[in-house]
Homo-oligomer: A and B are copies of this chain.
Amino acid sequence: MLIIGERINATRKRIREAVLDRDAELIRVEARRQVAAGAQMLDCNGGVEGREPECLAWLVTIVQEAVDVPLCLDSADPEALARALPLCRRRPLINSVTDERARLAAVLPLVREHGADVVALCMSEAGTPRGVDDRVATAGRLIEAIAGYGIEPGKIWIDPCVFPISTGAEHGPAVLGAVRRIREIHPGAHTTAGVSNVSFGLPVRKLLNKTFLTMLIGCGLEAAIVDPTEEGLVAGIHAAEALAGRDDYCVAYLEAYRDGTLGAPTAALQAGAAR
């Protein structure tokens, strides 16, 4: 399971201010915190109106000063990507393209040129997807269109497009079913999801986020854009991976237990003793 940390995103007020003020230390702290919590890749979103190319390039430079993980360049702006891509020390993931000819034509030559991976979001000219079939059809078209640019399926990460369940009970099963079907039909491509969107508008969001993520792992999801610092999220991933048959002899689960990732056993015992 590839854990992509979502916190360095300029649509969040605190990050936006840090980007505008060039507060490098705040960004470095966010980068280190996420990697310490279990992120294996960090999303960087420098989406400040009119200044995205310089802001994304600055973020990439600063984050790489702090941590040594590949980056997920969260931008649909070809100019921002063209400027950020050459700065990446490790193979990046570009997030994202949709099934829209103009966006594919603007971004995929850059993906190809830099040997990057790409997130293919199940949205099309017709707009946002509605159910399982719609998502599966869009995924198929996207894989074909991306292949047309000489990019192999193994570099494609299909994102089924997660909507808030507060806006419709059908959105959860649609994404779960789509991940399962896309994995069956396109075993050569990968799947990812921006999980946190599912809980928008509801209380105790972290409970919904971690629960949805474990359900998605049960459907075969291979990567997720999440906040790894949310309580219990990475522990839930370790449990779900073992339960989904992806962790032979529970080696990773037991290692996570020993290093305290599953909830500090010592702290729990101390709390018990103090009661």
Chain A positions within 8 Å of B, measured between CB atoms, are: 165-166, 169-173, 176, 198, 202-204, 207-208, 211-212, 214-219, 232, 235-236, 239-240, 242-250, 253-254, 257, 262-263, 265, 268
Contacts and interface: CB of A to CB of B under 8 A. Distances in A.
Contacts of A232: 232
Nearest to A257: B203
Contact of A240 (B215, B219, B242, B250): B215
Contact of A218 (B171, B219, B247, B257): B219
A246 B171 CA distance: 11
B203 A262 contact: yes
A15 B253 CA distance: 31
Contact of A262 (B170, B172, B204, B254): B204
The 10 closest A-B pairs by CB, nearest first: A215-B218, A211-B239, A173-B245, A172-B243, A169-B245, A204-B262, A203-B257, A169-B248, A212-B243, A207-B239
A240 B210 CA distance: 10
Contacts of A212: 239, 243
A59 to B, nearest CB: 23
A239 B208 contact: yes
Given A165-B243, A172-B243, 15 more contacts: A169-B246, A169-B249, A172-B244, A176-B243, A202-B254, A204-B235, A204-B262, A207-B235, A207-B239, A211-B236, A211-B243, A215-B243, A216-B218, A218-B218, A218-B219
A200 to B, nearest CB: 12
A239 B242 CA distance: 21
Nearest to A236: B211
Given A203-B265, A207-B239, A207-B262, A244 B257 contact: no
A166 B250 contact: yes
Given A215-B215, A215-B218, A165 B242 contact: yes
30 contacts: A165-B243, A169-B246, A169-B247, A169-B248, A169-B249, A170-B245, A171-B245, A172-B244, A172-B245, A173-B244, A176-B244, A202-B250, A203-B257, A204-B257, A204-B263, A207-B239, A207-B262, A207-B263, A208-B239, A211-B214, A211-B236, A211-B240, A214-B214, A214-B215, A215-B218, A215-B240, A215-B243, A216-B218, A218-B218, A232-B232
